Amino acid sequence: MTKGQAAAGVTLPPLPDDLRRQEAHAPVVEGQPVISILARERQALDRANARQGRTIQFYDDLTRKYGTRR
């Protein structure tokens, strides 16, 4: 237990590993149509945005549970 946990009297749950992951850009393969590269890049952005949404939901759940929202 850390000093902050002892002072707060709260042990927060660990952040899910998925929420720490960074999304890589879609690889650019020479000779591939630009539209297919763009489509894969948009899919990567969709995954990143979904992960951000899960992070926000995780945080909102914590603030509801512990009442620490400012």
Q: Report the pLDDT value the prediction gives residue 58, as an integer from 0 to 100.
A: 92
CA distances from 64 to 6, 13, 55 (A): 20, 14, 14
What was the pLDDT predicted at 12? 80
Rounded distance between C-alpha atoms, residue 44 and residue 17, angstroms: 18
Helix, strand, coil fractions of the chain, as percent rounded to 5: 60, 0, 40
Stretches in the chain below the pLDDT threshold 70: 1-8, 68-70
pLDDT at 54: 94
